[in-house]
Structure 1
Amino acid sequence: MAKQEYIDKNKEWLRAKAQEPGVKPLDKGIFYKVISKGRPDAPKPNRNSVVVVHYTGTTINGKKFDSSRGGTAPAMRLRDLIQGWIIALQQMRVGDRWEIYLPAEMGYGRFSQPGIPGGSTLIFDIELLGVG
């Protein structure tokens, strides 16, 4: 598949996903679906927070490129992560588990990463376990 064809296919997948029941928009073309909710009074992270999360990342064809599940949940400074995570996680509360759908520009853009072709829409199943 040609690179532009791949990029177009990813954009079309995201447009279709956005129309599904339960899928809601965030800023910058990001969409999400709530899998489970934490307490409504649980803390939310900000850009400078350290977040503890379990996550699995896949491309639109279902290929898993990264996962913390089955190991210790990593602690990461939110501002050091990809733009899509920074935006989505600031809307989550501890205990929330969301599936987020990131347009390529909110992930790695046109640049390829191991297991992720440039122009990929990224799908993450993220569970926010803690905020520090």
Structure 2
Amino acid sequence: MKHLLAFGMLTLGLALALASCGDGKQAENTDSEEQNTPASLADYDFARLNYALGASAGFFVKDQGVKLDAEQFLKGLRDAAEGKSTMNEKDCQIELEKYLALEQEFKAQEQLRMGDRFLDSMAKLPGVVRDSSGLLYRIDVEGTGAQPTDSSYVSVNYVLTLVNGQVLDSSATGQPILANLKNMIRGWAIGVSKFREGGKGMLYIPPDLAYGVNGRPGIPGNATLVFSIGLEKVLTKEEYEKGLRGQ
């Protein structure tokens, strides 16, 4: 939905540009205009371009899940193209921003409810422990090596998903990432510190220990995060820095 504002401004701009080209039919030019207009533009099928613009707008609105009132949508497009719009560009921007803010708040609350239900159900499963912070974790393979603190340097394999199973990110196949737990989201730092080297398991991280109400690109606001992790090694600072340099 974050692209809706930009698309609204683009649609308005195109409508105004097309209005300057005529009534949407093939361009008609005076002799003087023809001398200054490339033949490719003079002969352009503006009816087809207009249809393509309308279809693109329809596809976009459908994909974004906006409730479409076709009559009002076409009226707004037509009025803007004919210079009769009751809203200027600033008015349009304000209205789109107002909708986007409400839509973002609604989705964030929906994510929070869904995450709470998920965490409550996971907490009832065998082997799942709820930390005092609210983090849930499960150790599937007990490690036998060193155990990090929540500010250690570590080498970790992971897969990140949402509660619906959608995969968001992962370490490269067979290639763990190097991480300074001090710089990671709080839930990850707390969770990884529950494992010993060689350990594998799951982390279920509530949004207040992750990216909160605002989320981040690709991660919705108030999203509960699910990590499958494998702690490869607890690193010294020197090992961590050498690893970052590829040494």
Determine if the TM-score, normalized by the shorter chain, exceeds 0.5: yes
State the distance in 2 between where 1:72 and 1:127 align: 11
Q: Deviations over 1:40-82 (max 9, x none)?
A: xx21112332100000000001001110041521111110000
Tell me the number of residue pairs that the alignment of Structure 1 and Structure 2 aligns. 130
Determine helix, strand or coil for the equivalent of 2:169: strand
Query: Pairwise mapping of residues 1-132 of structure 1 onto structure 2 (< 5 A)?
Result: 2-3=106-107, 4-39=109-144, 42-132=145-235
Question: Could you tell me whether the CA contact under 8 Å between 1:51 and 1:128 is conserved in 2?
Answer: yes
Determine helix, strand or coil for the equivalent of 2:154: strand
State the distance in 1 between where 2:214 and 2:231 align: 27
Letter of the structure 1 residue corresponding to residue 124 of structure 2? Q
Larger Rg computed on CA atoms: 2
State the distance in 2 between where 1:7 and 1:94 align: 33
Letter of the structure 2 residue corresponding to residue 54 of structure 1? N
RMSD: 1.5
State the distance in 1 between where 2:129 and 2:165 align: 21
State the distance in 2 between where 1:6 and 1:90 align: 27
Question: Could you tell me whether the CA contact under 8 Å between 1:59 and 1:121 is conserved in 2?
Answer: yes
State the distance in 2 between where 1:47 and 1:35 align: 20
Question: Could you tell me whether the CA contact under 8 Å between 2:147 and 2:197 is conserved in 1?
Answer: yes
Write out the 4+ residue segments of structure 1 that deviate beyond 6 Å after TM superposition: none
Q: Give the unaligned 5+ runs of structure 1.
A: none
State the distance in 1 between where 2:215 and 2:191 align: 22
**TM-score w.r.t. length of structure 1:** 0.91
Letter of the structure 2 residue corresponding to residue 122 of structure 1? L
Determine helix, strand or coil for the equivalent of 2:133: helix
Higher fraction of strand: 1
Question: Could you tell me whether the CA contact under 8 Å between 1:56 and 1:69 is conserved in 2?
Answer: no
State the distance in 1 between where 2:204 and 2:172 align: 19
State the distance in 2 between where 1:79 and 1:6 align: 27
Q: Which has the higher contact order (CA 8 A, sep 6+)?
A: 1
Q: Give the unaligned 5+ runs of structure 2.
A: 1-102, 236-247
**TM-score w.r.t. length of structure 2:** 0.50
